[in-house]
Amino acid sequence: MSSRTSSLQFQLNRVPTRLPAPERERLLAKPGFGAIFTEHMVRIRWNAERGWHDAELTAYAPLSLDPGTAVLHYAQAVFEGLKAFRQADGGVAAFRPDAHASRFRRSARRLALPELPEETFLEAIDLLVEADHAWVPSAPDHSLYLRPLMYASEVSLSVHPADDVTFLLIASPSGPYFPRGVKPVTVWLTEDYSRAAPGGTGAAKTGGNYAGGLLAQAQAAEHGCDQVVWLDSFEHRWVEEMGGMNLCFVFGHGDTARVMTPALTGTLLPGITRDSLLTLGRDLGYETEEGRINVDEWRAGCEDGSLTEVFACGTAAVITPVAAVKSARASWTIGNGGPGEVSMRLRQALVEIQRGAASDPHGWLHHARVSFER
Ligand SMILES: *Cc1c(COP(=O)(O)O)cnc(C)c1O
C-alpha cells in the first residue's frame, strides 16, 4: 500500500494488530498533555544526494541513535505543534495545518535544515490522522496534539549544516495543557535572562530557545510565579512573550475594547493562535493592533485602570489569563485577577470554530479523510 503526493510516495506500513478499544478508551479517559502517543508515526528521510525520500507511515517506536548524531551535540532541529479536533458531527479536523507547514519551512530555513514541501507536511498529517483517528478524543478541551519535528541525523561531530536529516510526525491525545482549567497565572518579569536577541533564532520554533529558557522558568517558580515573561534583550523593558506563548493586552471594556499584541520584531515567535485571535478580535468588532508596550506602561495601565486584561495565547493552552506580575522592582495585579470578559469571549470564539460548533469563515479547518460513525 502506498499514498502519493506529487513529489513523494509514502509507504503505508500499518501495525498488524491494533490496541483493543477498551484499552485505548482507558488511556483516553485521562490523557494528560503530551504524555501518551498513538500507534503510528510518519518518517521521511532527507540527504544531500537524494533529497526527501523513504517516506513512510509506520509503527510508533523508539529511535536508535548513534551517540555521534549531530542533533545531540549542536541542536540543529525544529518542531511544530498543532491540533486535530473531534468535530460536532463526529469527523476530525486539523486547525490551520497550512499555516503550520509554512512556519515549519521558515524555522527549517533559519536552522539551515532542508525545507519540507508544504504539501508533504499536509500529506503526513492526513495519513497519521487517518490511521489513528480513533485516538482523537471527544471530551471538551481535549484534542489530538500533532508534533512534527526535524533533526540533524547525520553522524558527525564536525559543525556544519547536516547532510542527513530526519522528519518525524507523532501524535499525542491530550487533555487541557493546564489541567485545572482556565486558571489565571502569575508571571515573573526576568531581567537576568533573555530568550532571543536580534539576529538570533527567536522567530524559529527550535528546541534551543526552550532549553535556554528553562533556568528563567525555574527562577520564576522560585519567586512564586507560574510563568516567565520575556523582555527585549537590549533594554530589558519591552514586553515580548510569556514562556512559550504570545501575549495580548486588552485596553478598555466591552465592545469598545482594544486588543494589542507585541509586533513581530524578529525576536518573537509568530504564533498562529495570536494571528487567529487578531482576526477573530476584528470579527467580533474589537479594535486590534500590533504594537509595543514596556514594563512601566504595563504597570501604569493597570494602576489607572486603562489596561483591563492580559492573556497569553498558544496552541497548547489556547488562552491563559495573566492575573499578576512580579519583578525584582515591583509587583501589581491586572483587573480583578479573574479571567477577563474579552479574553473569554475570544477563547470561546476560537474553540467553537475548532470543534465545528461555529461556522469557519476563514477556512481554518482541514477535514480529515476519515470515515466515521455518527
Ligand atoms: C509555539 C510558540 C508560540 C505559540 O505559537 P502557536 O502557533 O500559537 O502555537 C509562542 N511562543 C513561542 C516561543 C512558541 O514556541
Q: Alpha-carbon distance 37 to 191, whole Å?
A: 37
202 lines ligand 1 (CB under 6 A): no
Ligand 1 geometric centre to CA of 243 (Å): 9
Atom of ligand 1 nearest to the CA of 275: 8
Q: Name the residue at shortest CA distance from atom 13 of ligand 1.
A: 244
pLDDT in tens, 59-109: 999 999 999 999 999 999 999 999 999 999 999 999 999 999 999 999 999
pTM for this structure?
0.96
The yes/no answer on whether domain 10-175 falls in CATH 3.30.1130.10 is no
Q: Is the pLDDT reported for residue 374 higher than 50?
A: no
Which residues are 57's β-sheet partners? 12, 42
Q: Alpha-carbon distance 55 to 145, whole Å?
A: 21
Query: Out of 1.10.8.10, 3.40.50.1970, 3.20.10.10, 3.40.50.360, which CATH number does the structure's domain 185-354 have?
Result: 3.20.10.10
pLDDT in tens, 316-359: 999 999 999 999 999 999 998 889 999 999 999 999 999 999 99
Q: Name the residue at shortest CA distance from atom 12 of ligand 1.
A: 244
* All three cell numbers of 22: 477498551
Could you tell me the residue ranges of all domains in the chain?
Answer: 10-175, 185-354
The arithmetic mean of pLDDT across residues 115-132, rounded, is 97
Ligand 1 geometric centre to CA of 122 (Å): 19
205 lines ligand 1 (CB under 6 A): yes
244 lines ligand 1 (CB under 6 A): yes
Ligand 1 geometric centre to CA of 255 (Å): 28
Distance of CA 337 to the CA centre of its chain: 26
Quote the mean pLDDT of the chain. Answer: 95
Atom of ligand 1 nearest to the CA of 274: 8
Neighbours of 361 (CB within 10 A): 10
246 lines ligand 1 (CB under 6 A): yes
